[in-house]
Chains A and B, each alone.
Chain A
Amino acid sequence: MKPTDYRDPEYYHKVVDCQYACPAHTPVPQYIRLIAAGKYTEAYMVNWESNVFPGILGRTCDRPCEPACRRGRVEEEPVAICRLKRVASDFKDDVSHLMPDIPLTKNGKKIALIGGGPASLSVARDLAPLGYELHVYDDQTKGGGMMRTQIPSFRLPIHVLNQEVEQILNLGIITHFNQYITSLKSIVNEDYDAVFVGTGAPKGKDLILPGREEGSANIFIGIEWLASVAFEHTEKIGKRVIVLGGGNTAMDCCRTSRRLGGDEVKVIVRSPFAEMKASPWEKEDAMHEDIPIIDNHVPKSYVTENGRLTGMLFEKVEAIYENGKRRLVPTGEPDVFFPADDVIIAIGQENKFEWVERDLGIEFDQWDMPVVNETTFASTRPGLFFGGDAALGPKNIITAVAQGHNAAISIDLYCQGEDINQRPAPDTKLFSTKMGIHEWSYDNDITTEFRFPVPQADKKETLSDRKKEVELGFDLKTAFREAQRCLNCDVQTVFSESKCIECDACMDICPTNCITFTYNEDEEGLRMKLLVPAVNETQDILVSDILKTGKIMVKDEDLCLHCGLCAERCPTAAWDMQEFLYNTAKAGHHCYV
C-alpha cells in the first residue's frame, strides 16, 4: 500500500469524524475545548463563522456529527456535541462588537435573496462584509423562514431565534417583508446582479383518502398548522388528536397538540418504529409527553358522521424485506378504528415553484425541480442560484447553511466576473501542541464518564405553556464534564519516518492497539494483519513510508483516542500531536474569528 499523503488536508479532515460529517464542517473539537476552557464567547464565534446559527442549531440541529463521533465507537454514546453548542450560545457575552464591519462604500453589486430562511440568511451573512447590497424578500413579517414557522417555541424560544436572525439583518441587509413574490421574472427583470432563491419546501403533503372532504374542517396539514400556531392564529385543538407521519414535523405537531388542549394525542405511522424518520431523541421527547407512537398502521379512510370527523380507519401491516427493499404487507387482521376530534397530516413536504416562470432559461428536471449544480448551487440561468430546501429538496437547517456558504462563494465569483467552478481551497493549519515533556496544549487526560442527559423543565409546566422551553440546557459544571468527554480528534498523530528508530514504544503503549509495525502489502492484507484487525473500512489507515528495517508503521485511525501516549513514549519525537484546523472557504476568503 502506498504511504499516506499527509499533505492532503482531506486525510486529516476525515479523521475528525464530527467535523467531517457536519455539512458545514464546523470545527467541533476546537469549540468544545474552548467551552472546557470557559471561553464561551470564543466558542460561539467559532460556531458562528461556520454555521451562522449556533443558538438555534444548538437546540434544533439534526446532529449528523453525533452518530459519527469517535467516542460512540470507543464507548457507548457520542459526545453531546449539539447541546454543547447551546452552552456556547447560552453563556456567551455580548457578541455585537465581534460582528464583521460592513463597508460604508458598497461594491456596487446588488443581490436579491428570495426567502428569509437559513439559506438566504447565510448567503447574506457571507456577502454583507464584502460590500454587497443585499435585498431579502419574504412573505412573513419577520425573517427566519421555517425556523420561525415550523419549529415550536418549546424547542426554540423566540428570543434565541430573533437574536440570531437580527444579528444578520443588522449587517445592513435591506428587508422586504410581508411581500410574497408571485413572479421570479419580476425580480430578474429588476437591476439585480444576481438572484438567490432560498424559498425552502413550503408545501406540506396532503393525504387524500375517503372522507377527506367531509372532515376537512378538522384535518390540517402539519407545517401549515405549525405556522398558524406560531403566528397565534390557532390556539386550540380537540381533545383527541391523531398525527399522521413519522418525521420530526410529526413529533413537533403531536407535542404542540399536547400544549393546545390535546389530552389523547397519538402518532400513527405506516413504517416500523425503528425506521421512522424522526430523530431518536425527538421520538423520546414525544413519548415522554405521554404520546404513544403506533407503528405499522396504514391510514385507510377518514371516518365522518353528519359531516364531522369522528376518527380514522387504519389497516395493520408488517414490513417484509426482499432484496434490500421494504414492502408493507397487510397482516389480514381487521382494520382498526381510532376516534379523533382532529387529524394532523405530517407526512412530508414539497417544493413549490409555481411562481417561477418556465421561460427564464432555467432547466427543470423530470420531477419539475430546477436543475441545480451540487457544488456551485447555480441554476442553468447565469446569475441565478438556489440553496437550502429549494435547491436539492427538503433536508435540514445545517445543510441549508452549508449550501448558503457555497452559493455565496458562487455569487461573489460570478459578480467579480470569475469562474464559479474554480472553488477556493479550505483554510487549513497544522501545528504542534507540544509545550514541554508530556505537556500538550490540549488536555489529553480524557474522562471515562458517560454522556450526561440534558435536564428538562417540569412536564406539567411545559405542557401548560406552549412557549416554555422544555430543555434547560447544561449548567456550566455539567457542560465542562461533558466537554471533557471529547477525544480531541483534531489533534492529529503526525508521524515522521526519518526520526523513527523502531523501538516499538508507541506500539506497546497505545491503549487501543492502533499502531503496528509490519511489512507492507496491499490494503486488504495490511488491515487484517494489524495488532487488532482494522475492520471498520469507513476509517482510513495511516501508512508510513518504508523504515530502516524494511518495515512500515501502520495506524488504524478507527479507535485512536488522540491521547498522545505514542508521542509521549517516543524517544525521538517521531510522533507529534499536531492540532489540525480546517475551515471551509467562505466568500471572499473572509475570516470572522
Chain B
Amino acid sequence: MKTIKPLLREPRVVIAGGFLLLLLLIAIFAPYIAPKDPLEQDLMLGNMPPATSPGAEPGFYLGTDDLGRDVLSRVLYGSRIALTVAFVAASLSAIIGTLMGLAAGWYGGWADRIISRLVDIWMAFPPVLLSVLLVAVLGSGLHSVIAAIVIIDWTRFCRVVRAETMAQAQLDYVMAAETIGFSRSHILWREILPNVAPVLIALFSLEMGIAVIVEAILSFVGLSLSSDIPTWGGMIAQGRQMIHQGWWVFVFPLIALFATVLAFNQLGNGLRKALDPVMRR
C-alpha cells in the first residue's frame, strides 16, 4: 500500500492511468458498448458524416466509411488490437531485454561483451524499416507484428537494465549481501532486481506506447492485419484515401491513436517520477 500512495499523488499517473483503464474496459466490453457491428456494411449508408453535421444518419455518431461501416464501432473495436499488441509486445520485449540486461550488467565479462555487441549491431538498423522488413518476411498477421516489435525493441530494455544493474552493483548493500554469504544469483534476483523494477515499470509503459505506434504504422502500410479486422492504423490508411469525401474516417482513429500513445507516455514519465523518491535515496 505504501508504494501505491505516492503514485496517486502524481497527476499524470492518475489521469493517464485512468484513461488507459477506461480504454481497457472499452476493449474488453467492445461488443456490448459498440452501437453497431463494426464489420456490417451498408452501401446505401456510405460516407455518412458525424452526428453533429447536417445530413447525418441517426445512430451513426461518428459517421460511416465508404462501405457504410460505423466509424465509432470500428474505433472502439480498434482498441482491442492496439492494447493486445501493446501489452504482449511490451511484455515479451521487457522479459527478453531484462534477462539480457541483468546478465550483461551483473555477470559482466563475456556475457556483457556478447550482449553489448549484439545491442550495438541492433541499434544500427533503422527500426521502422526493420519492422516492415520483418513483417514482410514473417508474413502479415498479429503474431508477426508482435514478433517484429519484440525483435526490435528488446534492446531498449536491455540497455537500460544493464546500466541500472551496473549502477546498483556498486552500492554497499550488494557488498553487504555478499558478506552475508548469499549466492550471486540470489543477490541478482532478490536484492538488485527490486531496485531495477521502478525504471522497468516506467519503461514498460513507454514501450506500450511505442508498440501502439508501430502496430499502426504496419497497419497503415498494410502489413498488419486483414482489412476486415478494425485497427486504427488500417482505418487511418483507408480514411487517407478518401479524406476529401469524409475527414471523419481519418480523424477519429487518429485521435484515438494519439490519445492512447500520449497516455502511455505520460503514465511512463509519471511513474518514473513517482517511483523514484520511494525507491532510491
- Is this pair of chains taken from one and the same complex? no
